[in-house]
């Protein structure tokens, strides 16, 4: 559960106030809502490290792409997909 995974901010869609600032973030094509309160300087196109639905910091594009590639190679991305779909982890 402590996995943090990078995603790309596709569209900032809620700027009601800073607590609710959120965006559609793409994790290698899977789009999810992510809260941006901890990264006030983040803009569309930035890559952010996301943990349980909250972006914790901005990472550079190359770093993010390499991390995703690695996470996919070792099969942890499937685990992440299960998590965001509210499924139980594999035994």
Partner 1 sequence: MKYLDEFRDPELAKKYIGLIKGITTKPWTIMEICGGQTHSLVKNGIIDVLPKEINMVHGPGCPVCVTPVHLIDKAVFLAKQENVILCSFGDMIRVPGSVMSLAKAKSEGASVKVVYSPLEAVTIAQKNPEKEVVFFAVGFETTAPANALSVIQADKMGVKNYSILTSHVLVPPAMEAILGAEDNKIQGFLAAGHVCTVMGYEEYFSIAKQYKTPMVVTGFEPLDLLQGIYMLVKQLEEGRIDVENQYSRIVKREGNVEAQKTIFEVFEIKDRDWRGVGTISNSGYEIKEKYSQYDADKKFAIKIEKAEENAECIAGEILKGNKKPFECIHFGKKCNPEHPLGAPMVSSEGACAAYYHFSSDVFELM
For partner 1, the binding residue among 13, 30, 53, 61 (CB under 8 A) is 53
Phi, psi of 70 (to 5 degrees): -65, -45
Q: CA–CA separation, 47 vs 7, rounded Å? A: 5
Place of tokens 């070792």: 74
Q: Kindly state the greatest CA–CA separation across the chain.
A: 41
Q: Is 29 a residue that touches partner 1 (CB under 8 A)? A: no
Q: Is 14 a residue that touches partner 1 (CB under 8 A)? A: no
Under the rule (CB under 8 A), what is the footprint of partner 1? 1-4, 17, 19-20, 32-33, 35, 37-40, 49, 51-54, 56-57, 59-60, 63, 66-67, 69-70, 73-74, 79, 82-89, 91
């Amino acid at each position: 559960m402590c996995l943090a995974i990078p995603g790309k901010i596709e569209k900032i869609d809620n700027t009601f106030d800073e607590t609710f600032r959120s965006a559609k973030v793409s994790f290698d094509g899977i789009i999810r809502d992510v809260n941006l309160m901890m990264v006030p300087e983040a803009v569309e196109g930035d890559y952010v490290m996301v943990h349980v639905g909250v972006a914790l910091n901005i990472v550079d594009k190359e770093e993010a792409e390499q991390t995703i590639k690695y996470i996919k190679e070792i099969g942890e991305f499937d685990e992440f997909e299960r998590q965001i779909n509210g499924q139980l982890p594999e035994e």
